[in-house]
Every structure is written in structure tokens, then in C-alpha cells.
Structure 1
Amino acid sequence: MDKLEYQDSTKTENVHVVDRIKLLYPNVNEEETPLPRSWSPTDKCNSIYVHNFRVHYKGVGKSHNDAASVRTAHPVPAACGLYYFEVKIISKGRDGYMGIGLTAQNFKANRLPGWDKGSYGYHGDDGNSFCSSGNGQPYGPTFTTGDIIGCGVNLVENTCFYTKNGHHLGIAFRDLPVRKTKLYPTVGLQTPGEIVDANFGQEPFKFDIEDMLKELRASTKASIYNFPVPDDQGDWTSILHKMVSSYLVHHGFSSTAEAFAKSTGQTFNEDLASIKTRQKILKLVLSGRMGHAIDQTIRSYPNLLESNQNLLFMLKCRQFVEMVNGCDFDNDSARDSPLTQTSSVIQSTKTYQNGSTTTTQQQQNSNLVISDPNNDNLEHQSFKNNLSLQSHDKDQNNKNVNNGSSGVNNINIQELNQINSYNNSNDQYLVVAAMDNTNESNSSDVEMENGHNNSMNGFKNGSSNKTHNIIDGDEEMDVDGSPVCIKSTNKSGVERMLEFGRELFQMSQRLERENGINEANQKMLEDAFSLLAYSNPWASPLGWQLCPSRRETICAALNSAILESMNYSWRPPLEINIAHASELLRLMSNSNLGACAFVTVDDMLHEEATISN
């Protein structure tokens, strides 16, 4: 029967490929504990021939000494909770001396499962079960050609059961040492002509294992709900209220925190004005206005970023990404620009390099964005190949800069192509280092109209003065949590972004000199700069950086740093408890406690929310 209820599939050219085995055991982390998916090509007797899922006996089969077994490549993970596989008897051969069951890692490949210590088997010739002994016990019916025998391991109750042709035969073994011993699905054959096929879940099972999984899932949750809480452990309601209150304060939900505190009689240490200040900064980050967020952070917490340069570097890298995304420029100027129809930084540069901001229909067609990632990769490669062809223009471009051309540095396509070859250069920081040489004398700080210096360590944020005046005032700042990002750039925006990239690179070099190599910072910078290698960065292999959800990590890091600077916890107790529960589930899996397979923290939270509603 095929009653899988999970929806986890990949689509390839209109064909849905479903990993049925993974769907059966969703809580198993196969990077740590792979599932048994196939027979082992090495852990078998020489008399056994294995081809895919088929096992064929090739021995002489004269006595018990001619028995041969094969086990799976991996043991049963505890996080399965309930593991099940089936074996179809293709041919019983001469005598049908076949055994199906489980063995420990150090099993004897020339013995049927169940005959030796650490092995358990159900044999077809007599229907007996063998529990680490050569003496069998009556268990079930015999099986022969055409029968389908299933073997299930209950890692919650430490039992093993069998099925025949979809019918449950009852528990065969109890008190399995699953906490101390890794068990492998195993098949043993003994006489010529015996052939079996295994189904580890890649095909629908004959037996309805889903009903058993549902029962175990329900019983596990019931044990959690019914767990007794001693009366001497304190007032749980008050504790939970404090956890919720601290969570709201931590994340800057000032209005909700205030209302919740009044209704529950809670108090919080941080004053309301401080919470609202943090809330403003976090909204700026989540809306992609990184330059303004950095400026407001410097004003409100003057020493925070100065003393945490890695955090500042993270914010600056995100600001560069938002510039590519079109969210960190002044929106009004972007809308007024005649280049707002241009879809990428590269195309904008191509347009104004030719001395014109208007294009013919033919030029417009050539600048159309092709969202096919493969096409982007080809363009990425073509930029790399064309770099050497355009290098001869460098001297002339430098002359244009010296002759007083407008713009920050009169950035040209040759410089942008240097960015495009960034990842494939022998010097991985060639991109901005090459551009630094053109403007070493023009890196002075920018003074703001309101008297604030919009820089930190010689680093310009590139945000407009208009917003600073709003932030400096006492009135509430209105930050749109979901702004319309201008996914295009004008000439000045491109110039500003490229200069910002130079300064970002200079900062990375300074941090490397002062603190040594930081691989995380290097990776951030590399990923951010690489966006410029594509005509349509949003459809590129690195386009994930432009997703608004990526701001959340930056937001959380900045929020935690602000709270720590005020001697508050960097993480609220509610999140700590949830993380603790998740870690306990992981430790249960490592300790072979099968109940961890039938519950997750998210499941419990969602179920509680459903019950509450």
C-alpha cells in the first residue's frame, strides 16, 4: 500500500522524483547516519552474488557450513524510530533454507542470521525464529517462492516483528540491544537456486507500515503531554510569561511587549525608548536600507561597531548586496533616471560607457535580461575571456579620470570586467585592488549637511541626507518593512557602488592585517562581489544573496550585539529553551533512543498553536 503523506520531491523536466525512503524517515540526518538503502558489496560471503537489490546464492549448499549472508551497507539509525524492509522470494531454490533478519556489525558471513550472538532471524524452511542461537523457537509459517516477508525494528520498544504477504505475524524478538549495538538488515541463503529481492522503501511496501508509524507518533506525543510536572518546581505560568515577555523585548516588539506586560503584570529591564530605537534599526535592516541602519547604529550606540569590526564588515557586505539589489540607493533618484529600464549593473555600465543614456531599439533588445542561469554562466565566462582584450583601454581611461571627467572615478566597463573575473583570478582580490590604483587620492570622508560624519574608518555609507534628518529628530521614524526595491541602477548609483566596493575591499585588507585571515569574511566578500559577474544577478547561482530573508541573519547579529553592549542577554530564554530541546532530540538520536523519530520541536509548537486556536 502506498499511503505516504509527506510532500518532498524534486522536479526534473516534468518528472517528479520522490525519495520514498527519505519520506519514510524524515528525522534521519543522512549526513551523520545514512539509511540502509542497498546491500553492501563487501560485507557478504563469497557464495553470495549481489546485483542491485537482488541476492543470488552461488554456493554448493551441501551443509550448514555452506550458508552465506549479506548485510546492508549501513545500519538502522535510531532516528528512524520504526524501520522496516521487505524481501520477496524470487525462488526458494533447492531446499528454501533462507533467513531474514538483523545482525550486528561483526557478523559471520557464512552463517544464516539468528544463529550467532548479535544476530536475529526468521527462517523459511521451518518458520522458526532464531535469537542469537542455533536453537530456533516456533514463530510463524514457512515461506517459499512468491512470498513477501517483511522485517520491522521498533526502536522505541526495542522489539522486532515480521510480516508475510502484508499480514503482521507478531513480535519475534524483545529487548533488542539497540542502544549498544548497531543492527543491519541481513539476508542469508544456503542452497543452490535461492534468489531474493529486497525493498528498502524504494517501492511501496506490501504491509501498511504507515499506520504503525502514526500510532507511534501519537503515543510519543501523548507521553510528552502527560509528563508529570512536580508542584515544587515553581509557578510555570509566571515563568512562561517571563519567557514570552523577554522574547518580545529582545526582538523589539515594543507595542506588543508593553501590552503583554500590562495584561500579565510583567516588567522588563530595558526602557521603552531603548526598545523603539532598536526597533527602528532592525526595520531598516529588514527593509534593505543598510546604510541608514549603520548610521543610526553609530549615533545610538557610538562604540558598538568601532569595537566590533567583524560585525561592521558583515553589515557593509550586506550593504553592497543591497546596492546590487537596488534597495540601498535613493529611490527617488533611481526612479527619475533614464536608466531605470536597464536591468543590471553590467548593462547600466555598458550604456553610459558609450556616452549616451538613450538606446536604440536594437540596443534595448541587446540589454534584455535572460533569466536562464545557464545563459548567465555563459556571460560570466565571456566577461572573463574578454578581460585581456579590453585591458589596452586602461591608459586611455585613466587619462579621462585625470582630465576631470565626472563621477566618483569615471568607472568604466574595463573595471567592471575585472570584477567579473574576480573568482577566477590567481589573486582572489584582484577585483577591487585593481580599481584602488585608479583613485588612491580620492578616498576622503564625506561630511553630512547636518554635521554628522557619514563614515566610519574612512568608509562611506552612501545613504541620503534626507533620511538622516528624520532619524535625528524625535519623531517616530516610519520604515516600510517591505519596500519596493529598484532593481536597476543609474550612472551615479553604479559609480557609488563600485567605489563602495573598493572601500569594502580596503576594509577587508585592513582587518586581515590587524586580525589575520578570517575565512567567513573572505567568503562574504567573494560572494558579494561575484554578483556583478552576471547580467541578471537575481537569476544567477549566487542570486540567493539577494533574497530578503537573508537580511534576517544580519538583523539578528546586529540586535544581539546591541543587547550585549547594554549587558543584556544576546539570546532570549525562549529561543534558548527551544534550541535546548532540539539539541536533546539530537542527543537522543546519537544515544539510539528511537522516540526522537516521532516528534520535533516545530511539530509540538504548531500543534499547541492549533489547540489554542
Structure 2
Amino acid sequence: MKKSGEQVRVNFGQLPFAFDIDGLMKNEKNIIRQEILATSTDKLAPTKSETDLIQQLVLQFLQHDGYVDTARAFAKEIWEEKSALAMHSDEPILHTDSLAGIRRAVLEGDIDEAIILTKASYPDVLAKNESVLFRLKCCKLIEMIRKEAELNLVHGSNASNASNVSNASNKLETKDNGTIRANGHSHQGMDVDDVVMVEDNSGSQAQPEGRALVDEALRYGQMIQIEFRSEYRPLYRNSLNEIFSLLAYANPFKQPEVAHLFDQRHRVRTAEYLNSAILASTGKSSRSALENLYAQTSVLLQDLRQNGGPGCFVTCKDFVDEIPQPDTL
């Protein structure tokens, strides 16, 4: 500034920039996107076209993760498309895999059936993978508590701020006589090591079936603790404490702190965890080719970003976000 009264105005984004930086970024991204789309996949799979390669990656992923019925339907669709185009190709042969039954059992919440099927087809998996067995049993405990919570909703508990534990004519109390209150606040200090059953004289009108379900869940949770006591890691303890905290709410389905345990995605993650252990036991990769490809691409892009350049303008998520969601199809 050379003269009195001159001013400098800066813009940190509170106003539109005079220079169209967003337009420049969008243009650069489009250039990189076109280069990616124009890249040949011949070197990845010399004997397959890009369409065939993608179809095989998807098909292998479905088979790998135990979606046998979906994989069979997808393979049939591929074969029908090729036939319609007069392309001679043998229909992929899919064998029914016990993985499908195991996965289906977990996704339906029938953990006992999943354990039975796993032991029958892959006897070494649970014996050699303590963490997998622990996760399955925790999933079963969640399903047991889910039944009581659903029963509580059906009968419409009238107790204001009453927990499922109180509705079952029991209270949870720690060894230092600190009662786990029914208002959902004091359950944070709950430790499965210290849980004992005490009589409730509050006159709660609980359904007998609900009381039985809570009692059964508590006994099963304590059995899990005893079974894994020799290797009772903090992670195990925290997992059980979180699951038991479900009992501190009248309607755990509506509590953000614990509702995720009832989400179907929790079953899916458990099924995938078990599926990976089974595949590893058979000498196969715990991840499908498509998952490996995605992970490798992400790492390569991250490496390219270190020194700037094209890698800064594209991410795998950019492409994933463009996939139409079911509710928009």
C-alpha cells in the first residue's frame, strides 16, 4: 500500500471467489476420469474383455462371500445375455457350498444353527479361532436380548423409564451394592464381572416370558465370561459390557448408544468375519479378488497423492458414490 486510506480485502470463502477454482477442479477431475475410462484392461486379463473381467470379478466375489444363490442367478443372467448375442460360452458351473447355509443362518439370527453347520463342515475353524467363536456367541446373546426387547414392545410396558431388567422383576446390582438403575443413566458403570441377580420388590408387572428371557440372557452372558476367562481380554470385556447395557433400556431399539447392535449390518459383519475365517482355514484368501483390487487401487492412489499430480483428483469413493442406490433405481 502506497497511499493513506488504501485497504486490502481478503476472502477466505465467505464470498464467491473471483477465480473459478471449483470449475477448474471439476475440469481436471473430468480429464483424469476420461483417461481412466480410456485405459485398456487387456494387460490385466489378456483373454477377457473388460465386460467379461468385471462380470468375473463380481461373480467371484459373490461365490467367495457365500452368496451362492445370488451368484447362481448372476451366472445364469450372464449366460443368457451371451446366448442372446449368439456368443458361445460355457455357463459357469456353481457348486452348492455349505458357506451359503452358514451365512444364511447368521443373517437370520440363528447362531446355534450357524455354529452347528460350521463345526460339521469346518471342524477346525472355531476350535482354532477363539475370537470367531466369541463373536458368534456374543451375536447369540444379542439375539436373546432382542427377543425380550421385542416382547416388551408388543406388550407395551407402562413403566416410565423402566428398564427391561426391572420389567423382568429383577435388578442388576454390582458387588459394591451399586444398583444398575432403570433410567438408563447409571448402566455405564456396569461390569459383567460384577453382575449378580437380586430380588425386585417394586411390584413390577412383568410378563413371565420376558422375565425368563432376561434370566436366560444373563446366564448365557455369564457363561461366555467364564468360558473365555483364561483369555479374557479388555476387548472381550468391553464387548460383553456393551451388550449387557441393552438391558438398561425400556426400548433399546431407539437408543443411539446401543441400537447399532440390533442393526442387520451387525449380523452381516459377523457373517463376513466367520466367512473369512472359514476361507483362511481352507487355504483360500480371506478377501475376494474384487476386494483386493479395490484395496490395491486405494493404496496406489494414496501413494500418487504424496507428491501431488493426478492422484489428487480421484478416489475410489468418487466412483462408488456414483452407483445408483436401491431407492433411486
Q: TM-score, normalised by structure 2?
A: 0.73
What SS is found at the alignment partner of 1:310? helix
Deviation at 1:319, TM superposition (A): 2.2
Query: What percent of counterpart residues are identical?
Result: 27
Query: Helix, strand or coil: the match of 1:535?
Result: coil
The whole-number CA distance in structure 2 between the counterparts of 1:339 and 1:261 is 43
Aligned to 2:95: 272
Q: Indicate if the aligned counterparts of 1:305 and 1:311 stay in contact, CA closer than 8 A.
A: yes
In structure 2, what is the equivalent of residue 340 of structure 1?
155
Q: Kindly indicate whether the alpha-carbon contact (under 8 Å) linking 2:132 and 2:274 is maintained by their aligned counterparts in 1.
A: yes
Q: 1:315 to 1:194 in 2, by over 3 A?
A: farther
Compute the displacement of 1:536 (Å).
3.0
Give the CA deviation at 1:569: 2.0
- The answer to whether the Cα contact below 8 Å between 1:285 and 1:293 also exists between their aligned partners in 2 is yes
**2:276 maps to which of 560, 566, 569:** 560
Deviation at residue 540 of structure 1 after TM alignment = 4.1
Cα distance, 1:608 vs structure 2: 8.2
1:424 to 167, 175, 189: 189
User: Counterparts of 1:238-277 in structure 2 under 5 Å?
Assistant: 239-261=53-75, 263=79, 265=90, 272-273=95-96, 275=97, 277=98
User: Whose relative contact order is higher, 1 or 2, with alpha carbons under 8 Å and at least 6 apart?
Assistant: 2
Instruction: Report how far residue 310 of structure 1 moved.
Output: 0.8
The structure in which a higher percent of residues are strand is: 1
For residues 434 and 232 of structure 1, the distance between their equivalents in structure 2, rounded to whole angstroms, comes to 57
Structure 2 counterpart of 1:533: 248
1:229-280 C-alpha deviation (Å, 9 max, x unpaired):
5669622335544423321211223234335556253656xx723x2x2222
Q: Is the 8 A contact 1:342 1:348 kept in 2?
A: no
Conserved 8 A contact 2:42-2:48: no
Residue of structure 2 equivalent to 1:596: 311
Match of 1:435 among 192, 196, 204: 196
- The equivalent position to 1:309 in structure 2, one of 112, 130, 135, is 130
- Does the CA-based 8 Å contact 2:174-2:196 persist in structure 1? no
Tell whether 2:101 aligns with 1:286.
Answer: no
Q: Deviations over 1:60-109 (max 9, x none)?
A: xxxxxxxxxxxxxxxxxxxxxxxxxxxxxxxx5x44xxxxxxxxxxxxxx
Note if contact 1:435-1:502 (Cα within 8 Å) is conserved in structure 2.
no
Say if 1:282 and 1:346 are closer, same or farther in 2 by CA, change over 3 A.
Answer: farther
State the Cα distance separating 1:554 from its structure 2 match.
1.2
Distance 1:581 1:540 in 2: 34
Pairwise mapping of residues 172-321 of structure 1 onto structure 2 (< 5 A)?
Answer: 196-228=8-40, 234-237=46-49, 239-261=53-75, 263=79, 265=90, 272-273=95-96, 275=97, 277-321=98-142
Distance 2:309 2:215 in 1: 59
Letter in structure 1 aligned against 2:20: D
The amino acid that maps onto 2:68 is S
Contact 1:246/1:572, CA 8 A, preserved across alignment: yes
Give, in angstroms, the shift of residue 576 of structure 1: 0.7
Q: CA deviation at 1:281?
A: 1.9
Alignment match, 2:166: 350
User: Which position in structure 1 is the counterpart of 2:84?
Assistant: none
Residue type of the partner of 2:245?
S
CA deviations 1:273-324 (Å, max 9, x no partner) are 3x2x222221222233333323332333233212211111111222222333
Q: Give the aligned partner of residue 299 of structure 2.
A: 583
Counterpart of 1:217 in 2: which secondary structure? helix
Aligned residues: 301
Deviation of 1:490 after TM superposition, in Å, equals 1.4
What is the Cα deviation at residue 584 of structure 1? 1.6
1:499 and 2:219 equivalent? yes
What SS is found at the alignment partner of 2:287?
Answer: coil
Question: Bigger radius of gyration, 1 or 2?
Answer: 1
Alignment of 1:79-90 (within 5 A): none
In structure 2, relative to structure 1, the CA distance for the partners of 1:547 and 1:605 (3 Å cut) is: closer
Quick check: 1:316–1:504 contact (8 Å CA) kept in 2? Answer: yes
TM-superposed deviation, 1:388? 9.3
Which of the two has greater helix per residue? 2
2:297 partner letter: A
- Cα gap change, 1:195 to 1:549, in 2 (>3 Å): farther
Normalising to structure 1: TM-score of the pair? 0.42
Q: What amino acid is aligned across from residue 250 of structure 2 in structure 1? A: S
Match of 2:120, as an amino acid? R
Contact 1:433–1:502 under 8 Å retained in 2: no
**CA 1:526 to 1:194, structure 2 compared with 1: closer, same or farther past 3 Å?**
farther
Structure 2 counterpart SS, 1:501: helix
Q: CA deviation at 1:198?
A: 3.4
